[in-house]
Amino acid sequence: MSEIRDTKQYDLEERTLEFSKNVIKFCKGLPRTITNEEIVKQLIRAATSVGANYIEANESLSKKDFLMRVKICRKEAKESGYWLKLIEINNLTLKDEQELVLKESVELMKIFGSIITKAQ
């Protein structure tokens, strides 16, 4: 049973890492405008925080700590989506990338919401 749990944890840790990497890659291709510069800073902070907090959740010492960390993961995934919607894009390829990372932020939000529901 613990082997299955460890695999699921690893998969989600890997998935959140890939999300962070994809957001960073996406941001590197964005036009350098004053507005985008500020939004990109916020977006990268939120997107990378998802995985970092999930790792912390897996190392938590109590159920209460675990739930708090997972709630932060959900919050940061939601915030990532917000910043992704504000980015200025003038390139169709980047628009497609934006849609992909935005979709992933929504999926991660739902996954963390489900974990919270099951853990409570």
- The predicted structure's pLDDT at residue 55: 96
According to DSSP, residue 111 is labeled H
Position of tokens 């990532």?
80
Q: Among candidates 100, 112, 52, 106, which has minimal Cα distance to 81?
A: 106
Calculate Rg over the CA atoms of the chain. 15
Around Cβ 100, how many Cβ atoms within 10 Å? 11
- Give dist(CA 48, CA 23) in Å, integer: 9
Domains and CATH numbers, the chain: 2-119 (1.20.1440.60)
Contacts with 52 (C-beta within 8 Å, 6 or more apart), sequence order:
none
| Each residue's pLDDT expressed in tens, for the chain with a length of 120 residues | 344 445 555 699 999 999 999 999 999 999 989 999 999 999 999 999 999 999 999 999 999 999 999 999 999 999 999 999 999 887 888 999 999 999 999 999 999 999 999 998
